[in-house]
């Protein structure tokens, strides 16, 4: 069976009959994904001491969110900035998270001093259309306005699960089910038009169709 290689700076990192890329924001750094229009979005969450906030036993969400206590902390968030590579925490972002929290639960975090907070910073793998990027990985070849997804030549055995953005927990189980179903030739958990809507090849053919419109 043919083996699909994965390249980084022209160096082969791995080979397998079926190779699935699920590397978050790092994907465009690999040769076969260099054309992928995925981009990182910085997000910071704040850890609020449970002793400084009222009791909460449900997740509350509006323009921000807060979750119930875990190990003496409640997690609130989250910021969302594009083109921002700063990996260190920022007090300004803690203030923003508290402001979002005030919109979710007015007055809930008034006793919390943002200068005392700690949290986590992460980078979401975003797609231009906010949809996941899941399916077989096409070769980067010239296309025309008449090119369709099923006509795109593929990297043999190379698949990807990417672009979940801020919805990783929401998307992950369904996307894993879809990927396994496609690999095993089983009935799909989504309609064909939805499968096409998240196919990686859409980013190769969409610009051509838009320019021809």
Tens-level pLDDT at each residue, the chain (213 residues): 566 677 766 777 777 889 999 999 999 988 889 999 999 999 999 999 998 889 999 999 888 899 999 999 999 999 999 999 999 999 999 999 999 999 989 999 888 999 999 999 999 999 999 999 999 999 988 888 888 888 899 999 999 999 999 888 889 999 999 999 999 999 999 999 999 999 999 999 876 444 333
Angle made by CA atoms 120, 70, 111, in degrees to the nearest 5: 75
Instruction: Copy the structure tokens of residue 184.
Output: 């095993």
Residue 147 within a domain: no
CB 137 within 8 A of CB 22: no
Q: How many domains does the chain have?
A: 2
Q: Which of 107, 126, 145 is the last residue of a domain?
A: 126
* Domain boundary, last residue among 109, 126, 143: 126
- In a domain, residue 26? The reply is no
In a domain, 35, yes or no: no
Does the residue 111 lie in any domain? yes
**Residues 118 and 178 occupy one common structural domain:** no
Is 140 a member of any domain? no
107 shares its domain with 166: no
Give pLDDT, residue 212.
38
């Amino acid at each position: 069976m043919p083996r699909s290689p994965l390249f980084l700076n022209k160096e082969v990192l791995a080979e397998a009959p079926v190779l699935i890329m699920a590397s978050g924001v790092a994907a465009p750094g690999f040769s076969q994904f260099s054309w992928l229009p995925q981009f990182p979005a910085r997000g910071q969450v704040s850890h609020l001491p449970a002793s400084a906030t009222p009791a909460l036993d449900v997740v509350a969400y509006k323009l921000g969110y807060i979750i119930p206590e875990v190990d003496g902390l409640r997690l609130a968030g989250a910021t969302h900035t594009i083109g921002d590579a700063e990996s260190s925490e920022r007090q300004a972002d803690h203030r923003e998270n508290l402001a979002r929290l005030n919109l979710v639960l007015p007055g809930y975090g008034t006793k919390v001093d943002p200068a005392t907070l700690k949290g986590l910073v992460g980078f979401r793998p975003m797609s231009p259309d906010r949809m996941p990027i899941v399916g077989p990985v096409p070769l980067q070849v010239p296309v025309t306005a008449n090119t369709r997804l099923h006509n795109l030549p593929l990297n043999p055995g190379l698949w990807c699960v990417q672009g979940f953005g801020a919805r990783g927990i929401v998307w992950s189980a369904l996307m894993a089910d879809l990927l396994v179903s496609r690999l095993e030739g089983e009935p799909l958990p989504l309609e064909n038009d939805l499968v096409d809507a998240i196919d990686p090849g859409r980013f190769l053919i969409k610009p051509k169709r838009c320019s021809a419109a």
